[in-house]
Every structure is written in C-alpha cells, then in structure tokens.
Amino acid sequence: MSSPKIFLFDFDGVIVDGMHEYWHSSLLACEKYLNSPYISVDQALYKRVPNTFKEIRPWVKYGWEMVLIVHEIIKTENANKDLNKDNFIKNYHQNCQRILKDNSWIAEDLQKILDKSRNYQIDKNFKSWVNLHDPFFEVINFMYELKNKEIKTGIITTKGKVFAEKILKQLNIFPEFIFGYESGTKIKIAEKLTQNYEILGFIEDRKKTLLDIKQNSETSHIPCFLADWGYLKESDRFNLSNEIILINLSNLEELVAI
C-alpha cells in the first residue's frame, strides 16, 4: 500500500507576509515587557516598518531574534544614529549572542515576551492583529488545488503553533499538520513525516533550511523549492544546486505535475 502524499510549507514569507506583524509585535514586546533602560518607544514607530528591519529579516531564524533586532534599532535611533546594518549582518549570529550576553537576556525569555505580546493583541483586537499579515493568495489557491487532488498539506514554522493556527483559520486553511517552534527543528519534523508520508515537496524561503534538508540522509530525497517572494538574501537566488529549485508565485501550479 502506497503512503499518503503530503506537501509541506513554511509559513511566514511563504503563505503570508508577516513583516508588519513581526515589527509591530516585537516593538510592543519591547515597550511592554522588556524593561530595557536603553529604549523609549515613540508611538509613531508602530506606523512604519523601517528599512533596516526589512533588510535584516532574511537572516532571522527564530522569532526571539526579532525582539533583539527591534531593540537595537530603536535604541540606536534614540541615540541619533542608525544601526550599522552591514556590520550587524556580517556577523549576525555572533552579534545576536553578544547582545544577549551584554543585556543578560535569555533567548527563551525573549520568545516568551514575543508570544505574550501576540496574546495581548489577540485579546485586545484580534481582527487588527490578523490584518497585520498579508496573505499570498497564489499560495492559498495552490493549497486548495492540492486538497482537490487529495494531497495533504503540512505547515512547518518557527512561529508558535497557536498563532499560526489562528491566522490559517481566518484564511480558511486547515492543513493536516501545523508544527510550530515548540515541535523542534524543521529537519527533525521532516524526518518523522517521511516515515508515514510521501513528501512531494517543501516550499521554504530560508535557503539554509533547504540545504540542511538536502544534506541529511533521511530527508535528502524531499523535493525542495525556494520561494522567491519570501524573505530572501540577494545572494540566495544565485548559485543554487540542481537539488533546490527557485520558484515564483506564477509557476506554483506547475509543482502539482512534478
């Protein structure tokens, strides 16, 4: 008996553009819960996502990093100078670890206050929070098409599962599985799914994640697709191996035939 077929999707940057939500929720987390002596949140900051934040976003892996980045941006703005984006990106991981240490922060605690910020918004004005996410309707239509072909769908995201579920429900999307950051790494999740499903593809906008999947013996057979509409570094579009295919919104439907 053949295994059931499933198609996997990342969430932020693939199904929805959550740039405004991440900025808004991270800024609120800084304002209400971080208790940093280095920042003072001007309400005008909520109205526009700074280019610096947008440009650093492709390097981000986990949600807690957003809180850290927002803190650095608004701290340096208060000091009348811009965050040195290029230097920050050049040693991104090391800079994040340094800032954690300098402030005596723990990554898990930053994640908790980001989740707390989201829960606050959901309780206060759920519709307003949902509207901070801009859906990619081409992807949503593709997911409907998969369902019509009796192909299951799964979401693997570094967002909290409960928050992804709330947004997907508003978009009338009900995947077979939703895995949030609580479920572990994307590779481990994919490994477990391969035991019971034939994975037809995984659409992700983080190139490093796809490379890790291809370099893992248990998941290397999974077709991997890099979403060019997501949060990509400029270099991500080039020097791709034949094992990772760059796709755009206009040729999504072709994946059904692959």
Identify whether residues 13 and 46 lie together within a single domain: no
Q: C-alpha 118: how far from its chain's center? A: 15
More confident residue, 6 or 83: 6
Interval 111-132 mean pLDDT: 96
pLDDT tens digits along 44-76: 999 999 999 999 999 999 999 999 999 999 986
Q: What pLDDT is recorded for position 146?
A: 94
Q: Which residues are CB-contacts of 205 (< 8 A; sequence separation ≥ 6)?
A: 10, 13, 14, 226, 227, 229, 230, 231, 232
What six digits make up the tokens of 178?
A: 């939703």
Q: Which of 3, 8, 6, 15 is nearest to 164 (CA)?
A: 15
Choose one of 114, 130, 146: the last residue of a domain: 130
pLDDT tens digits along 234-244: 889 888 887 89
Identify whether residues 51 and 110 lie together within a single domain: yes
What six digits make up the tokens of 208?
A: 């490093």
> Has residue 219 got a pLDDT over 90?
yes
pLDDT tens digits along 140-196: 999 999 999 999 999 999 999 999 999 999 999 999 999 999 999 999 999 999 999
Q: What is the CA radius of gyration of the chain?
A: 19
- Domain containing 114 equals 19-130
Q: Which residues are CB-contacts of 11 (< 8 A; sequence separation ≥ 6)?
A: 18, 155, 156, 157, 159, 164
Count of the separate structural domains present in the chain: 2
Angle (deg, nearest 10), helices 63-78 and 92-102: 70
Choose one of 105, 130, 155: the last residue of a domain: 130
